[in-house]
Amino acid sequence: MKKMAFSVLATGSLALLLNVTDAEASSYTAKPGDSLWKIASSNKISVADLKKWNGLKSDTLYANQVLKLAPPQAAKPAPAAKSAKPAAKSAKPAQTPAAGSTTYTVKSGDTLSRIALLHKTSVGEIQKLNNMATPHIFAGQQLKVGGTAPAAAAKPPAKQAPASVAAPTTYKVAKGDTVSGIASRHGITAAQLMSWNSLATANIRVGQVLKVKAPAVAPAKTAPAAKPVPASAPAQAAKSYKVAKGDTLSSIAQRNGTTLAQLMSWNSLSSTNIYVGQLLIVKTAAATPAKPAPAAKPAPVPASSPIQTNGSYQVVKGDTLSGIAVRHGISMTQLMNWNNLTSTNIRVGQVLKVQNTAVAPQSQAAPVSAPASTGRGTAGEVVSLGLSLVGTPYVWGGSSINGFDCSGYIYYVYNQAGVQVSRTDTVGFEARSYDVDTPQVGDLVFFSNTYKAGISHMGIYIGDNKFVHAGGTQVQITSLDDVYWGKHFDGFKRLYTMN
Which residues are known to be catalytic? 406, 457, 469
Closest-CA residue to 361 (of 219, 226, 225): 226
Residue 175 to residue 340: CA distance in whole angstroms: 36
Contacts 24+ apart (CB under 8 A), 54-61: 59/35, 61/30, 61/34, 61/35, 61/36
Report the 10 Å Cβ neighbour count for 327.
14
Q: Residue 246, SS3?
A: coil
Q: What share of the chain is helix, strand, coil (3-state, %, to 5)?
A: 35, 15, 50
Closest-CA residue to 69 (of 81, 94, 52): 52
Looking at residue 93, its amino acid is P
Angle between helix axes 406-416 and 379-388 (nearest 10 degrees) is 120
φ/ψ of 479, rounded to 5, equals: -90, 145
Residue 83 to residue 452: CA distance in whole angstroms: 67
Q: Residue 83, SS3?
A: helix
